[in-house]
Amino acid sequence: MEFPREPSFRRALGCYALGSAILAVGIPLAAARYPGSYDWAYRVISALASRKHNPDGAAWFAGAIAGAMACLWPVVTQLTRDGAAPRWVKIALRVGVVCGVLVGLERLVFYHFSDVVRKGHELIALVSFLGFYPGILGLYAHRMKVRRGFRLPALLVVVPLLGVGVREFTLYLAQRGIGWADHDWRGQGVPLWLSFALWQWLAAVLLWLAVGHLLITAERTEVREP
């Protein structure tokens, strides 16, 4: 596979690599400082970035979120340049990136943002997901429409991403009133497959990998619709 070599692609690839490196450093440092031990299967992402629940490590992860999401701006610009994506995809991805940066910043600035704005953190995080997730799926759909040879590798990414995202959203709707950061899922004997935290982490990881896949499989000139 031959990668595009234009400067904008190299810049986008470098930003994606930088964002990945920021997360690779920030997440373990934050988890290592979590009181007791961080339960990846039953602790939501926001708990790792919360100064209330992770006083010594929250800044590492919150800063990593803000920095990594900011690195995605030139990546989104590259992926959605003229002819490469429908207009709604461009808007959705940009909204997702901006709100993702805000999620990290509000965790850095506020001890508990939802005490200032009711469900403020949840709202920003939800808007980020509802922008980024359908935007990525929409970009895959557009690629599959204009590049037939892209369909099989795209489906290998889209099918698990779609399944995880739908599962996460249904659990969000069913469990949003229990207080995720304080709720002891493991202690309550909740099965792993009903843990919102597990699906949240899976969705986040798959979305990040999907962005990388879309970037490295981009053609020099995206096929335009007639």
Written as tens digits, the pLDDT of the chain (226 aa) is 444 457 888 899 999 999 999 999 999 999 999 998 888 888 888 888 888 889 999 999 999 999 999 999 999 999 998 777 889 999 999 999 999 999 999 888 876 666 666 777 778 888 998 898 899 999 998 888 877 777 777 777 777 777 777 777 777 676 666 555 555 666 666 677 777 788 888 888 889 999 999 998 886 544 444 3
Indicate whether 104 belongs to any domain.
yes
Indicate whether 223 belongs to any domain.
no
In terms of residue numbers, what domain contains 146? 7-216
Q: What is the pLDDT of residue 82?
A: 74
Q: What is the pLDDT of residue 177?
A: 60
Q: Label residue 172 exposed, middle or buried (CB < 10 Å: 0-12, 13-18, 19+).
A: middle
The pTM for the full model equals 0.82
Indicate whether 20 belongs to any domain.
yes
Q: What is the pLDDT of residue 223?
A: 42
Indicate whether 209 belongs to any domain.
yes
Indicate whether 1 belongs to any domain.
no
Indicate whether 226 belongs to any domain.
no
Give the total residue count for the chain. Answer: 226
Q: How many domains does one find in the chain?
A: 1
Q: What is the pLDDT of residue 224?
A: 43
Indicate whether 191 belongs to any domain.
yes
Amino acid at 146: V
Dihedral (CA of 208, 213, 219, 223) sign: negative
Indicate whether 182 belongs to any domain.
yes
Q: Label residue 225 exposed, middle or buried (CB < 10 Å: 0-12, 13-18, 19+).
A: exposed
